[in-house]
Structure 1
Amino acid sequence: MARGTAVVTGASSGIGAATARRLAAEGFDVVAAARRRDRLDELAASMPGIRAVTLDVTHPASIAALAADLDDIAVLVNNAGGAIGTESVADARPDDWRAMWESNVLGVVQVTQALLPALERGAGGHIVVTGSIAGHLVYEGGGGYTSAKHAVAAVVETLRLELNGRPVRVTEVAPGMVATEEFSLVRYRGDRAAADKVYAGVEAPLTADDIADCIAFAVTRPAHVNVDLLVVKPLAQAAPHKVHRTTTA
């Protein structure tokens, strides 16, 4: 079943790559967009229905080039972003906060602005933003990331109000603990031991495919159905600060 074009940002790894694969399997023509073209090319070669496009969501010219190449879009998954550092607010590095806000918040705003006309063409479109439970709760050592994701949640809610009456649905998918190959490694500045400790003793953290499944569910509902917010955590996680672990190793 042909479902139209779906654009997925941050598609070179993790949730973005899993979402590109899942939406292609659902019948979408997927534009997989990210900075690392080599990984995108591997993704596109892995299954039919995926096209690689180089994109940096922090560069307006890169976003404009993407928009110029697209006409009618069914789905936009704003997934690019991430966390950097675990310092307290008192010890925070402003450049890290700036980078997180540029990718997580302004990236969503700029890509949405550029692609909104294409999303309104045809039968209408659907904007999905990969948020986080960090956008609805806070925790120590997460000030930069939680503040950015809180801003993302505010952007999504505001956008839904502003687009009311227009043929565009707006959804936030807010994951909890997801074990991907890079998220924690980037956050801990390449410290593999520290990154692995995040998931130590957790029997079944979420996977990128779990979040892709949630995104696919939201975008394949009937056109009159809008999933506003989908919060998903592993069974072991009750909150950012409360996770059941079978071992602390």
Structure 2
Amino acid sequence: MTDAARRPAFITGGSSGIGLALARQLAARGHPVALFARNADRLAEAALSVPGARAYPCDVSDRSAVEAAVAQAESDLGAPEWAIANAGIAEPGTFLTQDIASHEAQMQTNYMGALYFAKACAGAMDSGRLVFVSSGAAFFGIYGYSAYAPSKFALRGLAEVLRVELAPRISVTLAYPPDTDTPQLAAEARTKPEVTKKITAGGGLWAPEAVAAAILKRADKGRFAAAPGLQMAALLWLHSLAAPALRAWQAGIARKHR
């Protein structure tokens, strides 16, 4: 396929981090890019750094806003070849101290936002790739993530179903990024309990560009799971077997901090 014939890539959470890295790499392949994010100013600045990209400000937690933004992007650029649901928020905290509104916000953005976006894109895609960006928190319960982890577990469930339902027309990939040097990770650290910091340490810090390249490599091959790095790969293949040991290990760390 020539560059001129390439269909667009639609990416949520495209104003920074992994989303922006994905946008740059797909634009380098010749795909027109539509970026979606809630902060219009940051999104416009990001779009300027991606050749030919267009900005479509919207909050993915708002279904009507997502549907309108995707419809406008499809009108401008055509149906996407790549639809990447990358937008997400993470606000760690312990269950008894965290406000219920935080639980609602993370489920609404991380799961419902991805659902709204996938639903808006998939109907118009004759073929292509649908990518969901999840988290290692989707593998097993992690102390401090009672609001975040369920949203990523739900996203994993959605991807598992769509993998079957949309095949072979649309290839579905579910990505599990390791800790990545992004504004979201920095924001997450502000509320992360000390126990959670201990539990999640040790996986290293990846550059967004490396994570984006790993995700695209797996999606290009039609693979369902993209788990960059040894830690994520081990969780992908062994999380069910390792779950009892992981729970006991976390319990030991929590006891030391009480």
Would the TM-score normalized by the shorter structure come out above 0.5? Answer: yes
Q: Secondary structure at the match of 1:158?
A: helix
The Cα offsets for residues 179-219 of structure 1, whole Å up to 9 and x where unpaired, read as: 21332324525x9xx8xx78x99695112112211222134
More strand by percentage: 1
Number of corresponding residues:
229
Distance 1:133 1:236 in 2: 7
Q: Secondary structure at the match of 2:61?
A: coil
Distance 2:231 2:70 in 1: 39
User: What residue is the counterpart of 1:168 in the other structure?
Assistant: 170
Q: Is the 8 A contact 1:14 1:208 kept in 2?
A: yes
Counterparts of 1:78-157 in structure 2, within 5 Å, are 78-87=85-94, 89-120=95-126, 124-157=127-160
The Cα offsets for residues 8-39 of structure 1, whole Å up to 9 and x where unpaired, read as: 00111111111111111122111011011212
Report how far residue 238 of structure 1 moved: 6.9
Report how far residue 153 of structure 1 moved: 0.5
Counterparts of 1:1-249 in structure 2, within 5 Å, are 1-2=2-3, 3-69=6-72, 70=74, 71-87=78-94, 89-120=95-126, 124-165=127-168, 167-186=169-188, 188-189=190-191, 204-221=204-221, 226-233=222-229
Q: Secondary structure at the match of 1:58?
A: coil
Distance 2:20 2:40 in 1: 12
Q: Is the 8 A contact 1:86 1:188 kept in 2?
A: no
Change (3 A) 1:218 1:57: same
Distance 2:233 2:139 in 1: 15
Q: Is the 8 A contact 1:100 1:144 kept in 2?
A: yes
Q: Is the 8 A contact 2:178 2:203 kept in 1?
A: no
Q: Secondary structure at the match of 2:180?
A: coil
Higher mean displacement: 58-67 or 11-20: 58-67
Q: Secondary structure at the match of 2:70?
A: helix
Higher mean displacement: 228-237 or 203-212: 228-237
TM-score for the superposition, normalised by structure 1:
0.81
Distance 2:225 2:201 in 1: 29
Q: Is the 8 A contact 1:202 1:236 kept in 2?
A: no
Q: Secondary structure at the match of 1:77?
A: strand
Unaligned 5+ segments in structure 2 are: 240-245, 250-258
Runs of 4+ aligned residues of structure 1 deviating over 4 Å after TM superposition are 200-204, 234-242
Change (3 A) 1:236 1:104: closer
Q: Is the 8 A contact 1:204 1:234 kept in 2?
A: no
TM-score for the superposition, normalised by structure 2:
0.79
Change (3 A) 1:65 1:187: farther
Q: Secondary structure at the match of 2:33?
A: strand
Unaligned 5+ segments in structure 1 are: 243-249
- One-letter identity of the residue aligned with 1:232: P
- What RMSD, in angstroms, separates the aligned Cα atoms of the two structures? 2.9
The percentage of counterpart residues that share the same residue type is 28
More helix by percentage: 2
The Cα offsets for residues 42-99 of structure 1, whole Å up to 9 and x where unpaired, read as: 2222231311111211112211212322032101000011211322x23332111100
